[in-house]
Chains A and B, each alone.
Chain A
């Protein structure tokens, strides 16, 4: 990325670096919790001890750890990181702290795709994740084409067309919901509340194929998004390829959120709350915010999922309930704090 890097009054980059280390430690802790706790009683220290001593691991323990908890942990890390980074990217692109991937039609598109696959699943043999992913991509590509005129993408048109598209997808979803039978309705409800319950290595593989490149690419958009905060004209004048930054940001969000929603359904609030918390803690510099958002998003989602698995064990709660239950009050608290500072 070319262009000047900006410095801020009261530079908090040292603090952000310390925060990164703290978040990594939290991530490791959350991962160990997720591996060690669950409805089945598997002693993680016991299994590690057995492995170190060269003894075999009981097949049941091996199954629970290798085929259930580990893929679920990996999927949770990928999706949490994807949602955190996508939220930070969107808020940077729209220069609005309330933006989330829903604004570019990802949620509405993925939802329509999932509903199509669930309701017409018998007629067209498309899996729900694939349909959700295609829906998300279709929506973003359509919006992007609508908002791009003569090589210039208008963020305002993107936003407004996104609202129209979401309404349209909502209506189409409504028609399909009407056609759905009792069981399909239940499936739809559970899909919309999100779950990591269907985690498998195959799912990790294809979700990772879309999410990992975004995680690598996103921090490199940081300097450009910092410049965009000054406005598009200013960013262009100090030498940033504004159109390229916008295109890459939208594509990154579509890939990451599309894959995340396809793999785990609708999981809300991670994308909004994570960047907010981080800006409060270490400032708005996107070069630090983006990697930290990945770390915090992953840690929070893995923790929430561990809670979802434990609270009503041996059954489990849809994770979207937990993220909204935890996320909404935190979000309100942030707003109230900001209002107090500004008022």
Chain B
């Protein structure tokens, strides 16, 4: 039964895929950075559905929402009748991705990465899938030039400011971006140094570690509505009250996807953060 159904699905796959190879016109995008790249390549009007993390440009939010990237329903994705699925490597669960890959539709995995080189790789994979190689090469070149410029400007800065990235406050506890996090990568690109060291990823820090970190600046995501970290709340924390950051009022807020997405807006994010840290 399984074999039969699979054989049928596989035997019809080329029939569906062949006309789609040229110019996919009904694209499902799964992942915020991938969606941003599709829009930057001018293919936004070919999108038919997105996941809940795809929120930039804002016009994307008008598209049907297929749910959270890690909890996709294969039938929901197929109900959008896509002729191309563009998914970031983190899409899941694995079983849903398996069904989608077996559906005989082109399924393109966009690589992940917080290193500056990863951005160009993401753009070229998406460009090839869209049949927009020329535009992708131009965009990748532009982003790489922007990143090179950011690095060139960051290198001579001395002394570098120590930046603490606060993901959230949990009952007054600081959830900070540690080593190997996207936050650390963007701080470095903006000419700063991550003040939170000694742990990987995002973890709650003890108050004493926060005190010892003594950041020169505090970086947060600019989220509206409930759950947002309020600068006043951060500045009122005893562990941070004496830090140079709070003393000088250096609390920076930036859009989360732009700051941590490592997509086309990363050079812009680095420049913005550098300007906020060191002035123009």
Contacts and interface: CB of A to CB of B under 8 A. Distances in A.
Contact of B75 (A39, A62, A195, A198): A39
Interface string A290-328: 000000000000000000010011111010000000000
Contact of B66 (A41, A187, A198, A314): A314
Contacts of B70: 183, 186-187, 190
Given A183-B90, A197-B95, A318-B71, A313 B76 contact: yes
A315 B75 contact: no
A181 B96 contact: no
B236 interface: no
A60 B5 contact: no
B142 interface: no
Contacts of A201: 1-2
B98 A200 contact: yes
A78 to B, nearest CB: 16
B227 to A, nearest CB: 14
A197 B167 CA distance: 30
Interface in B28-75: 49, 52, 64-68, 70-75
Interface string A51-74: 000000001101110111100000
A313 B67 CA distance: 9
Interface string B89-100: 010111110110
B76 A314 contact: yes
Interface string A186-225: 1100100001011111010000000000000000000000
A62 to B, nearest CB: 6
Contacts of A313: 76, 79
Given A183-B70, A195-B71, A200-B99, A314 B64 contact: yes
B155 interface: no
Contacts of A60: 78, 81
- What is the size category of the interface that chain B forms with chain A? 35 or more
A85 B151 CA distance: 63
Interface in B75-109: 75-81, 90, 92-96, 98-99, 102-104
A40 B203 CA distance: 40
A342 interface: no
B22 interface: no
A64 B78 contact: yes
B8 interface: yes
A312 B65 CA distance: 9
B12 A314 contact: no
Contact of B79 (A39, A187, A190, A318): A39
B5 A67 contact: yes
The 7 A-B pairs of least Cβ separation, nearest first, read A315-B67, A314-B76, A198-B95, A39-B79, A181-B201, A66-B5, A40-B79
27 contacts: A38-B75, A38-B79, A39-B78, A39-B79, A59-B15, A59-B104, A63-B103, A67-B5, A67-B103, A181-B202, A182-B202, A186-B68, A190-B71, A195-B93, A197-B73, A198-B94, A200-B95, A309-B75, A309-B76, A313-B79, A314-B49, A314-B65, A314-B67, A314-B73, A314-B80, A315-B66, A315-B76
Given A60-B78, A198-B93, A315-B76, 20 more contacts: A39-B73, A63-B103, A63-B104, A66-B5, A68-B75, A182-B202, A187-B70, A195-B71, A197-B71, A197-B74, A198-B96, A309-B73, A312-B67, A314-B64, A314-B65, A314-B76, A315-B65, A315-B66, A315-B67, A316-B73
Interface of B: 1-2, 5-6, 8-9, 12, 15-16, 49, 52, 64-68, 70-81, 90, 92-96, 98-99, 102-104, 167, 200-203
